[in-house]
Amino acid sequence: MKKLRLLTPLLISAVWLGVALPGSTALARPIDDPSTALSAPILSVQPDVFTLLTEVATPTIQTRTLNIANATPSTVLTWTIVVTPSPAFTPTVKPISGTNAASVTVQIDASPIAVTGTYTASLIITADPTTTVGSPITIPINVIAVDRLYRSYLPVLNKSNPPPLTNTGTLTFGLAFVSSAEAPASNDRYQHAMTLSATFNRWPMYWPNIETHPITQPRVFDWSKQDANIIADINHGMTDVPILMLTPIGLDTAGSRTAPQPKVGDGLRLRMSGQSINSITAPSSQGSPPQGLTLSVFTDSTDTPGAGKAINPNNRWAYFVNAAVTRFMPGGVLAQARGWTNGQGIRYWEIWNEEDLDQFFSGTSTDYARLLKVAYLSAKQADPNATIVFGGMAHFQRPNWLDGVLNVIATDPVSTTYHGFMDAVASHNYAWAWQTFGYLYQDRSRLDNHGLTNVKLWLTETGVPVCDDPAPLANPPIVPFCPSPLRATMSEQADFVIQTMTYAAWLNTEVSIWFNLYDDCGNDSSYDAFGLVRNPPITSLCPITVRPATPRDGTPRASFDAYTTTIQLLSGAQPYWRDRRTGTTTDWTGGNQEIFAFKHPSSGQRVVAMWTRYYVTDTVTLTATSSWALLILPDGTSSTIHPTNGVYTISLSAATNAMTPTGDGSAPIGGSPRIVVENDPAVTP
């Protein structure tokens, strides 16, 4: 076994940054004159940008290769490289001149960099004759200096293999609560998210926290905390997914005004605490439909959008949604104030959270259908390119919620004109890995049955807390115990990561988000630890005065490496085939072996993920499509395997998690996955 580093102290990542891959070339400019192209040399280079990460505290010298080529081999070109240094560092280049094809060594010494930030130098490549197409070419060298660089481990395919896997599909990964308006992120949090390349950050935008005096100061919004969070996220390359939710007291229509404001995560707390789902006798009034919801969206007394139309100020929900989108959209109020001109801003808006739980929404399916319609029309009036996401459903209290809302929407004569008032539908799933498949498959079927085949699937919360790691919050410290219902060991949490995300990828889910990046305040402020990363030793987020020392050390769990592996192997993956085999055990309906194959047309590779569904070991016999493959474990360690008589034989460990009942004898979390990456001649661009 070998554990290979994808992130070294100084990193160039062509895959994540969209750089030209081996076998392709980058041209500085298009060929304007076809007749010139027939006779003139063509200068090409790869990669066309270098981006590196370095730690300020422990800088290193790293060497990279720049490949120069002449795409017209019948002619000759001579090239020369000039270095434009950064104020902080000067690259060393050898050789600086040559003829036709060559490999150039580029060495970057980051030791002069003493302050975090991004520093840029460049290489300018000029060719003779002067008719050379593509000359000159400028190659930026970006060095991102951070306080601390977190290591993760992934398989690196050796030189005889095709180029690394590239993101050719639509699946994007994200995290819940990298930051939020109420809890801004530290640099460490951002660095962990950047290491994962899980770029979507889902967090709540609570209406009552923004319009704090809805009766005495109506339509007066304090966006200061939201502004600060979004600016920080954008500066760190995150894509925000705010959840527009809750009703200010004074605009409420039901519930208790003294009950605590529901928070994202409360629905899971209710389920995991062992309480009855009907035990909340007095939900907060902030979970009620707002007053004025049935009033027209626009001032002309209609719900019909049109150029120049104004939002009806008496429909307070419409006014709030429109104000939020107007402020934070690309080119909106905040973008103009910040001078953003490259599309920075928010495009994705989730409408409420777990509205199928009384804890969050006391209205009916008719009320939510209206809430969604008003939000859709109000948001699109400000930003036609906004993506509106049907709020993530918990499923367990009102399992037919989506169908009920879709049935109401179907009665609206303009719903087909406006995409059913949604661009995506979100679901949540915890503890049972295979339930991700069940919920998303059910969502897809219901959407298709209503003619909404173009509405995407999102998974905006999924996870399982660990029970074999000391409490994130307890005072005095509590060492959690296993078994514990709806929970898992740290190794099982890592298995859950790969399985839940594999199910989502197979169903062409557009966005999948893990809950949570850190433990933060846990699920019930006592002992649930959902994080890919343990809390740091000191945090101001959680209401305790004596903080346990260990393991609150800010270190990643095994699930962090598993998520890194998943993102690398499934980003852009396309479903290929699926097989649920009986394997060596023949007693179970549906089989013990869960096998999913994905293809990456850009690299000509297939990725096959497999695990057991029951509490026995098993052996997979997989027909080979190449003379060798990589066998990858959840933590990213890999080994080369070779087929015997055209078949790989792969051992699968038994499932171990028995803490949560399933009803059919299968495990809530399957056995530790094994992943095979292999060339496949049938996978073509």
47 vs 380, which has greater pLDDT?
Answer: 380
Does position 19 have pLDDT exceeding 70, yes or no?
no
How many angstroms separate the CA atoms of 616 and 584, rounded? 9
Digit-coded pLDDT (tens) for 246-298? 999 999 999 999 999 999 977 666 665 554 444 556 789 999 999 999 999 99
Average pLDDT over residues 589-611: 91
Q: CB neighbours (10 Å) of residue 674?
A: 22
Q: What is the per-residue pLDDT for 336? A: 97
pLDDT at 167: 36
CA separation, residue 360 to residues 259, 287, 316, 671 (Å): 12, 5, 19, 34
Query: Using one digit for the tens of pLDDT, what is the confidence trace for 123-171?
Result: 999 998 888 888 899 988 888 775 544 333 233 333 233 333 333 446 8
Q: What percent of the chain has pLDDT over 90?
A: 64
pLDDT tens-digit map of 49-96:
776 767 666 667 877 778 888 867 678 889 899 999 988 889 999 999
* CATH code for the structural domain at 172-568: 3.20.20.80
Would 14-146 and 574-679 be classified into the same CATH topology? Answer: yes
d(C-alpha 578, C-alpha 654), whole Å: 20
Return mean pLDDT, the chain.
84
Q: Collapsing DSSP states into helix, strand and coil, what is residue 190?
A: helix
**Three-class secondary structure of residue 421 per DSSP:** helix
pLDDT digits (tens, 9 = 90+) for 192-202: 999 999 999 99
CA distances from 329 to 239, 340, 382, 524 (A): 12, 11, 8, 34
Domain map (residue ranges) of the chain:
14-146, 172-568, 574-679
pLDDT for residue 435: 95
Question: Does position 389 have pLDDT exceeding 50, yes or no?
Answer: yes
**Alpha-carbon gap, residue 222 to 209, rounded angstroms:** 8
Residues 567-577 as b or e (16 or more Cβ within 10 Å = b): bbbbbbbbebe
Q: Which long-range contacts (CB under 8 A, 24 or more apart) does 293-297 make?
A: 293/317, 293/367, 293/370, 293/371, 293/374, 294/370, 297/374, 297/377, 297/378, 297/381
How far apart CA 246 and CA 182 sit, in angstroms, is: 15
Q: How many CB atoms lie within 10 A of CB 653?
A: 16
pTM confidence score: 0.76
**Residues 488-538 pLDDT 10s:** 999 999 999 999 999 999 999 999 999 999 988 765 545 578 999 988 876
Classify 574-679 by CATH class.
Answer: mainly beta
Going by pLDDT thresholds of 50, 70 and 90, the confidence category of residue 483 is: confident
CB atoms within 10 A of CB 81: 22
The CATH class for the domain spanning 14-146 reads mainly beta
